[in-house]
Amino acid sequence: MKNKKILPSLALLLGLLTLCAAGCKKTEFKVEGTVTGAPDKELTIERSDYSGRWQRIGETKTNGSGRFSVSMAAPGAPEVYRLCLDNSFIYFPVEGTETLTIDADAATFATGYTIKGSEQAEQMASFEKEAAALKGLSADSLAAFKRRVYETYIRPGRGSLLSYFVLTKVVDGKALYDPADAQDSKYFAAVATAFREFAPDDPRAQLLEAIAIKGMKARNWQQGRALVVEGSELQMIDVELQDENGQMRKLSDITGKGKPVVLAFTVMTLPESPEVNRRLASLRDAYGAEIYQVALDADHYAWRDAAKNLPWVTVIDSRGLQAQSVTDYNVVQLPEFFVINSEGALSARAQNFDELKKALSSVR
Protein backbone atom coordinates (compact mmCIF):
# COMPACT_ATOMS: atom_id res chain seq x y z
CA MET A 1 0.00 0.00 0.00
CA LYS A 2 2.82 2.39 0.83
CA ASN A 3 4.39 1.86 -2.59
CA LYS A 4 1.17 2.89 -4.30
CA LYS A 5 1.27 6.22 -2.43
CA ILE A 6 4.94 6.87 -3.23
CA LEU A 7 4.79 6.20 -7.00
CA PRO A 8 2.53 9.18 -7.88
CA SER A 9 4.89 11.44 -5.90
CA LEU A 10 7.89 10.13 -7.83
CA ALA A 11 6.06 10.61 -11.12
CA LEU A 12 5.19 14.17 -10.15
CA LEU A 13 8.80 14.88 -9.14
CA LEU A 14 10.13 13.48 -12.41
CA GLY A 15 7.60 15.58 -14.32
CA LEU A 16 8.70 18.73 -12.51
CA LEU A 17 12.35 17.95 -13.21
CA THR A 18 11.56 17.46 -16.89
CA LEU A 19 9.68 20.75 -17.06
CA CYS A 20 12.53 22.51 -15.32
CA ALA A 21 15.05 21.04 -17.75
CA ALA A 22 13.01 22.36 -20.65
CA GLY A 23 11.86 25.64 -19.12
CA CYS A 24 14.98 26.56 -17.19
CA LYS A 25 17.23 26.31 -20.23
CA LYS A 26 19.76 29.11 -20.43
CA THR A 27 18.53 31.79 -22.84
CA GLU A 28 21.22 34.43 -22.36
CA PHE A 29 24.67 35.17 -23.64
CA LYS A 30 27.31 36.76 -21.48
CA VAL A 31 30.10 39.26 -22.13
CA GLU A 32 32.71 39.80 -19.44
CA GLY A 33 36.27 40.98 -19.13
CA THR A 34 38.53 43.87 -18.17
CA VAL A 35 39.17 47.30 -19.66
CA THR A 36 42.54 48.42 -18.36
CA GLY A 37 42.69 52.13 -17.60
CA ALA A 38 38.92 52.51 -17.42
CA PRO A 39 37.73 52.23 -13.80
CA ASP A 40 34.08 53.02 -13.11
CA LYS A 41 33.31 53.66 -16.80
CA GLU A 42 30.02 53.05 -18.61
CA LEU A 43 30.03 50.48 -21.40
CA THR A 44 27.11 50.03 -23.76
CA ILE A 45 26.04 47.08 -25.91
CA GLU A 46 24.64 47.71 -29.37
CA ARG A 47 23.20 45.33 -31.95
CA SER A 48 23.18 45.74 -35.71
CA ASP A 49 19.99 45.28 -37.70
CA TYR A 50 19.92 43.95 -41.28
CA SER A 51 20.18 47.50 -42.67
CA GLY A 52 23.42 48.21 -40.83
CA ARG A 53 21.86 50.48 -38.19
CA TRP A 54 23.07 50.12 -34.61
CA GLN A 55 20.61 49.97 -31.72
CA ARG A 56 21.53 50.37 -28.06
CA ILE A 57 20.15 47.39 -26.19
CA GLY A 58 21.97 47.44 -22.85
CA GLU A 59 24.71 48.84 -20.68
CA THR A 60 27.04 47.92 -17.86
CA LYS A 61 29.77 49.59 -15.85
CA THR A 62 33.33 48.66 -14.99
CA ASN A 63 34.31 48.41 -11.35
CA GLY A 64 37.30 50.07 -9.77
CA SER A 65 39.62 47.53 -11.40
CA GLY A 66 38.07 47.85 -14.85
CA ARG A 67 36.19 44.54 -14.60
CA PHE A 68 32.75 44.22 -16.15
CA SER A 69 30.14 41.57 -16.81
CA VAL A 70 26.78 41.73 -18.59
CA SER A 71 24.23 39.12 -19.64
CA MET A 72 21.61 39.66 -22.34
CA ALA A 73 18.85 37.71 -24.03
CA ALA A 74 20.27 35.33 -26.63
CA PRO A 75 19.33 36.14 -30.23
CA GLY A 76 17.02 33.83 -32.15
CA ALA A 77 19.54 33.82 -35.00
CA PRO A 78 23.23 34.81 -35.19
CA GLU A 79 23.72 38.58 -34.79
CA VAL A 80 26.57 41.10 -34.70
CA TYR A 81 27.00 43.18 -31.56
CA ARG A 82 29.50 45.76 -30.40
CA LEU A 83 30.85 46.85 -27.06
CA CYS A 84 31.16 50.63 -26.88
CA LEU A 85 33.48 52.79 -24.80
CA ASP A 86 32.92 56.46 -25.60
CA ASN A 87 33.31 56.49 -29.42
CA SER A 88 35.38 53.32 -29.74
CA PHE A 89 33.93 49.92 -30.59
CA ILE A 90 34.73 46.22 -30.32
CA TYR A 91 32.65 44.07 -32.68
CA PHE A 92 31.70 40.48 -31.94
CA PRO A 93 29.22 37.85 -33.18
CA VAL A 94 26.74 36.02 -30.97
CA GLU A 95 25.27 32.75 -32.18
CA GLY A 96 23.47 31.57 -29.05
CA THR A 97 24.24 31.35 -25.35
CA GLU A 98 28.02 31.59 -25.38
CA THR A 99 30.17 33.47 -22.87
CA LEU A 100 32.66 35.86 -24.44
CA THR A 101 35.64 37.29 -22.60
CA ILE A 102 37.04 40.62 -23.79
CA ASP A 103 40.20 42.12 -22.36
CA ALA A 104 41.03 45.57 -23.70
CA ASP A 105 43.05 48.69 -23.02
CA ALA A 106 41.11 51.95 -22.82
CA ALA A 107 43.74 53.86 -24.80
CA THR A 108 43.58 51.44 -27.77
CA PHE A 109 40.11 50.05 -27.18
CA ALA A 110 39.17 49.31 -30.83
CA THR A 111 42.41 47.50 -31.69
CA GLY A 112 44.25 46.64 -28.46
CA TYR A 113 41.99 43.85 -27.27
CA THR A 114 41.64 40.09 -27.18
CA ILE A 115 38.42 38.12 -27.30
CA LYS A 116 37.78 34.50 -26.35
CA GLY A 117 34.72 32.28 -26.26
CA SER A 118 34.08 31.39 -29.88
CA GLU A 119 36.18 30.76 -32.95
CA GLN A 120 34.09 33.14 -35.05
CA ALA A 121 34.53 35.94 -32.50
CA GLU A 122 38.29 35.45 -32.56
CA GLN A 123 38.29 35.54 -36.37
CA MET A 124 36.20 38.70 -36.39
CA ALA A 125 38.67 40.33 -34.02
CA SER A 126 41.56 39.32 -36.26
CA PHE A 127 39.85 40.78 -39.33
CA GLU A 128 38.97 44.00 -37.50
CA LYS A 129 42.59 44.58 -36.54
CA GLU A 130 43.73 43.99 -40.12
CA ALA A 131 41.07 46.35 -41.49
CA ALA A 132 42.13 49.06 -39.04
CA ALA A 133 45.60 49.09 -40.63
CA LEU A 134 44.42 49.67 -44.21
CA LYS A 135 45.09 53.39 -44.50
CA GLY A 136 47.38 54.46 -47.31
CA LEU A 137 47.34 51.22 -49.29
CA SER A 138 47.71 51.38 -53.07
CA ALA A 139 44.90 50.06 -55.26
CA ASP A 140 46.88 46.90 -56.03
CA SER A 141 47.68 46.30 -52.36
CA LEU A 142 44.05 46.81 -51.39
CA ALA A 143 42.92 44.33 -54.07
CA ALA A 144 45.46 41.81 -52.78
CA PHE A 145 44.20 42.36 -49.22
CA LYS A 146 40.61 41.69 -50.29
CA ARG A 147 41.60 38.51 -52.10
CA ARG A 148 43.41 37.27 -48.99
CA VAL A 149 40.43 38.19 -46.79
CA TYR A 150 38.20 36.17 -49.10
CA GLU A 151 40.44 33.12 -48.85
CA THR A 152 40.92 33.48 -45.08
CA TYR A 153 37.51 34.52 -43.77
CA ILE A 154 34.81 34.45 -46.46
CA ARG A 155 35.24 31.25 -48.43
CA PRO A 156 35.74 28.98 -45.39
CA GLY A 157 32.74 30.64 -43.70
CA ARG A 158 30.18 28.93 -45.98
CA GLY A 159 27.44 31.45 -45.29
CA SER A 160 28.63 32.46 -41.82
CA LEU A 161 27.79 35.70 -40.05
CA LEU A 162 31.47 36.60 -40.27
CA SER A 163 31.44 36.46 -44.08
CA TYR A 164 28.48 38.86 -44.13
CA PHE A 165 30.20 41.19 -41.66
CA VAL A 166 33.41 41.23 -43.71
CA LEU A 167 31.54 41.90 -46.94
CA THR A 168 29.63 44.86 -45.50
CA LYS A 169 32.57 46.39 -43.62
CA VAL A 170 32.98 50.16 -43.85
CA VAL A 171 36.51 51.58 -43.47
CA ASP A 172 36.96 55.35 -43.08
CA GLY A 173 33.43 55.97 -44.27
CA LYS A 174 33.83 53.88 -47.44
CA ALA A 175 32.62 50.35 -48.13
CA LEU A 176 35.52 47.92 -48.27
CA TYR A 177 33.74 45.82 -50.92
CA ASP A 178 31.77 47.59 -53.67
CA PRO A 179 29.12 45.39 -55.38
CA ALA A 180 29.30 47.56 -58.53
CA ASP A 181 33.03 46.92 -58.88
CA ALA A 182 33.90 44.22 -61.42
CA GLN A 183 36.15 42.35 -58.97
CA ASP A 184 34.17 42.91 -55.77
CA SER A 185 30.89 41.78 -57.34
CA LYS A 186 32.34 38.26 -57.50
CA TYR A 187 32.71 38.23 -53.71
CA PHE A 188 29.08 39.30 -53.26
CA ALA A 189 27.94 36.58 -55.65
CA ALA A 190 30.01 33.99 -53.76
CA VAL A 191 28.62 34.97 -50.35
CA ALA A 192 25.04 35.21 -51.68
CA THR A 193 25.37 31.69 -53.10
CA ALA A 194 26.85 30.37 -49.83
CA PHE A 195 24.02 31.88 -47.77
CA ARG A 196 21.43 30.42 -50.11
CA GLU A 197 22.99 26.98 -49.73
CA PHE A 198 23.97 26.90 -46.05
CA ALA A 199 21.68 29.53 -44.44
CA PRO A 200 18.63 29.93 -46.72
CA ASP A 201 16.34 31.05 -43.87
CA ASP A 202 18.66 33.86 -42.80
CA PRO A 203 17.16 37.24 -43.81
CA ARG A 204 20.60 38.24 -45.05
CA ALA A 205 20.40 35.60 -47.80
CA GLN A 206 17.83 37.46 -49.89
CA LEU A 207 19.45 40.82 -49.11
CA LEU A 208 22.83 39.60 -50.33
CA GLU A 209 21.34 38.11 -53.48
CA ALA A 210 19.56 41.38 -54.26
CA ILE A 211 22.81 43.32 -53.71
CA ALA A 212 24.76 40.89 -55.87
CA ILE A 213 22.29 41.06 -58.75
CA LYS A 214 22.09 44.86 -58.54
CA GLY A 215 25.88 45.05 -58.55
CA MET A 216 26.14 42.77 -61.57
CA LYS A 217 23.63 44.92 -63.42
CA ALA A 218 25.48 48.15 -62.61
CA ARG A 219 28.80 46.60 -63.56
CA ASN A 220 27.51 45.38 -66.91
CA TRP A 221 26.07 48.75 -67.79
CA GLN A 222 29.30 50.50 -66.80
CA GLN A 223 31.38 48.15 -68.90
CA GLY A 224 28.97 48.30 -71.84
CA ARG A 225 28.53 44.54 -71.76
CA ALA A 226 24.73 44.40 -71.54
CA LEU A 227 23.36 42.30 -74.38
CA VAL A 228 21.68 44.54 -76.95
CA VAL A 229 20.29 43.15 -80.18
CA GLU A 230 19.58 45.66 -82.92
CA GLY A 231 18.96 43.90 -86.19
CA SER A 232 22.06 41.72 -86.18
CA GLU A 233 22.06 38.30 -84.54
CA LEU A 234 24.49 37.16 -81.89
CA GLN A 235 26.05 33.76 -81.52
CA MET A 236 24.41 31.49 -78.99
CA ILE A 237 26.61 30.21 -76.16
CA ASP A 238 25.91 26.58 -75.38
CA VAL A 239 24.96 25.38 -71.90
CA GLU A 240 25.25 21.79 -70.65
CA LEU A 241 23.89 20.88 -67.22
CA GLN A 242 22.16 18.04 -65.39
CA ASP A 243 18.37 17.64 -65.47
CA GLU A 244 16.10 16.27 -62.71
CA ASN A 245 16.78 12.71 -63.86
CA GLY A 246 20.54 13.09 -63.61
CA GLN A 247 21.07 13.30 -67.38
CA MET A 248 23.29 15.92 -69.00
CA ARG A 249 21.25 18.15 -71.30
CA LYS A 250 22.65 20.61 -73.83
CA LEU A 251 20.92 23.78 -74.92
CA SER A 252 22.14 23.12 -78.45
CA ASP A 253 20.19 19.82 -78.53
CA ILE A 254 16.91 21.72 -78.83
CA THR A 255 17.95 24.81 -80.81
CA GLY A 256 17.95 25.20 -84.57
CA LYS A 257 15.12 22.65 -84.94
CA GLY A 258 12.57 24.98 -86.50
CA LYS A 259 11.14 26.33 -83.23
CA PRO A 260 12.11 29.35 -81.11
CA VAL A 261 13.72 28.48 -77.77
CA VAL A 262 13.46 30.40 -74.50
CA LEU A 263 16.56 30.17 -72.30
CA ALA A 264 15.25 31.01 -68.83
CA PHE A 265 17.35 31.72 -65.73
CA THR A 266 15.28 31.29 -62.57
CA VAL A 267 15.30 30.09 -58.96
CA MET A 268 12.72 27.32 -58.68
CA THR A 269 12.38 27.38 -54.89
CA LEU A 270 11.33 31.04 -54.59
CA PRO A 271 7.65 31.73 -53.69
CA GLU A 272 6.98 33.35 -57.08
CA SER A 273 8.37 30.38 -59.03
CA PRO A 274 4.99 28.68 -59.69
CA GLU A 275 3.67 31.87 -61.30
CA VAL A 276 6.85 32.21 -63.40
CA ASN A 277 6.42 28.65 -64.64
CA ARG A 278 2.73 29.17 -65.33
CA ARG A 279 3.47 32.18 -67.53
CA LEU A 280 6.30 30.35 -69.29
CA ALA A 281 3.90 27.51 -70.06
CA SER A 282 1.36 29.97 -71.46
CA LEU A 283 3.91 31.58 -73.80
CA ARG A 284 5.24 28.16 -74.79
CA ASP A 285 1.79 27.07 -75.88
CA ALA A 286 0.97 30.38 -77.59
CA TYR A 287 4.15 30.58 -79.68
CA GLY A 288 5.13 26.95 -80.08
CA ALA A 289 8.42 27.55 -78.29
CA GLU A 290 10.79 25.17 -76.55
CA ILE A 291 12.12 26.06 -73.09
CA TYR A 292 15.52 25.39 -71.55
CA GLN A 293 15.29 26.47 -67.92
CA VAL A 294 18.45 26.95 -65.85
CA ALA A 295 17.60 26.78 -62.14
CA LEU A 296 20.15 28.50 -59.88
CA ASP A 297 18.97 26.66 -56.78
CA ALA A 298 21.16 25.41 -53.96
CA ASP A 299 18.66 22.82 -52.72
CA HIS A 300 18.73 19.93 -55.22
CA TYR A 301 15.88 18.06 -53.54
CA ALA A 302 13.47 21.01 -53.52
CA TRP A 303 14.43 21.87 -57.11
CA ARG A 304 13.91 18.29 -58.29
CA ASP A 305 10.48 18.20 -56.66
CA ALA A 306 9.50 21.46 -58.38
CA ALA A 307 10.95 20.46 -61.77
CA LYS A 308 9.75 16.88 -62.14
CA ASN A 309 6.37 17.71 -63.67
CA LEU A 310 7.42 20.52 -66.00
CA PRO A 311 6.98 19.70 -69.73
CA TRP A 312 10.30 21.21 -70.82
CA VAL A 313 14.02 20.88 -70.20
CA THR A 314 14.95 21.98 -66.68
CA VAL A 315 18.55 21.83 -65.49
CA ILE A 316 20.29 22.97 -62.33
CA ASP A 317 23.47 24.87 -61.52
CA SER A 318 23.84 25.13 -57.73
CA ARG A 319 26.73 27.59 -58.10
CA GLY A 320 24.03 30.23 -58.37
CA LEU A 321 25.32 33.64 -59.38
CA GLN A 322 28.78 32.15 -59.86
CA ALA A 323 27.55 29.79 -62.58
CA GLN A 324 29.47 29.94 -65.85
CA SER A 325 26.25 30.35 -67.82
CA VAL A 326 25.35 33.39 -65.68
CA THR A 327 28.68 34.94 -66.64
CA ASP A 328 28.39 33.92 -70.30
CA TYR A 329 24.98 35.53 -70.67
CA ASN A 330 25.66 38.47 -68.34
CA VAL A 331 22.56 37.69 -66.30
CA VAL A 332 21.67 40.80 -64.30
CA GLN A 333 18.40 39.82 -62.62
CA LEU A 334 16.22 36.81 -61.85
CA PRO A 335 14.22 35.64 -63.61
CA GLU A 336 15.78 36.62 -66.94
CA PHE A 337 15.09 35.24 -70.42
CA PHE A 338 16.88 34.92 -73.76
CA VAL A 339 15.17 34.08 -77.05
CA ILE A 340 16.90 31.90 -79.64
CA ASN A 341 15.24 31.92 -83.04
CA SER A 342 14.17 28.87 -85.05
CA GLU A 343 17.54 28.76 -86.83
CA GLY A 344 19.48 28.62 -83.57
CA ALA A 345 20.72 32.22 -83.34
CA LEU A 346 20.44 34.31 -80.19
CA SER A 347 18.08 37.16 -81.00
CA ALA A 348 16.83 38.89 -77.84
CA ARG A 349 17.12 39.41 -74.09
CA ALA A 350 13.94 39.82 -72.07
CA GLN A 351 13.84 40.99 -68.45
CA ASN A 352 10.10 40.58 -67.97
CA PHE A 353 7.22 38.68 -69.55
CA ASP A 354 6.03 41.61 -71.68
CA GLU A 355 9.47 41.80 -73.30
CA LEU A 356 9.55 38.01 -73.69
CA LYS A 357 6.16 37.99 -75.41
CA LYS A 358 7.29 40.76 -77.78
CA ALA A 359 10.53 38.92 -78.56
CA LEU A 360 8.71 35.66 -79.30
CA SER A 361 6.25 37.49 -81.54
CA SER A 362 9.11 38.86 -83.63
CA VAL A 363 10.76 35.46 -84.24
CA ARG A 364 7.61 33.41 -84.75
What CATH number should be reported for the domain holding residue 100? 2.60.40.180
Last residue of a domain, one of 88, 106, 131: 131
My answer on whether 245 and 359 are in the same domain is yes
Distance (Å, whole) CA 172 – CA 123: 21
Output DSSP code: residue 63: -
Closest CA to 296 of 274, 275, 273: 273
pLDDT value of residue 125: 95
Total structural domains within the chain: 3
My answer on whether 84 and 187 are in the same domain is no
Say if 344 falls within a structural domain. yes
> Beta-carbon neighbour count of residue 154 at 10 Å?
24
Least confident range of 111-120, 230-239, 240-249: 230-239
Helix axis angle, 139-149 to 119-131, nearest 10°: 180
**Percentage of the chain with pLDDT > 90?**
47
pLDDT value of residue 221: 53
Say if 3 falls within a structural domain. no
Last residue of a domain, one of 131, 161, 177: 131
My answer on whether 205 and 320 are in the same domain is no
Last residue of a domain, one of 98, 131, 164: 131
* Stated pTM of the model: 0.61
My answer on whether 58 and 107 are in the same domain is yes
**Model confidence over 228-244: pLDDT tens digits?**
444 344 568 899 999 99
My answer on whether 119 and 174 are in the same domain is no
**Domain of 115?**
28-131
Say if 19 falls within a structural domain. no
Average pLDDT along the chain: 84
Residue 92, C-beta contacts closer than 8 angstroms, at least 6 positions apart: 31, 80, 81, 82, 83, 100, 102, 115, 121, 124, 125
CATH (domain of 354)? 3.40.30.10
Say if 230 falls within a structural domain. no
My answer on whether 310 and 272 are in the same domain is yes
Least confident range of 129-138, 216-225, 250-259: 216-225
My answer on whether 107 and 145 are in the same domain is no
**Model confidence over 178-187: pLDDT tens digits?**
887 877 877 8
> What are the beta bridge partners of residue 171?
174
Say if 289 falls within a structural domain. yes
My answer on whether 218 and 300 are in the same domain is no
Say if 148 falls within a structural domain. yes
Closest CA to 263 of 200, 363, 338: 338
Say if 95 falls within a structural domain. yes
Say if 346 falls within a structural domain. yes
Distance (Å, whole) CA 151 – CA 276: 37
**Model confidence over 268-309: pLDDT tens digits?**
877 788 999 999 999 999 999 999 999 988 778 888 988 988
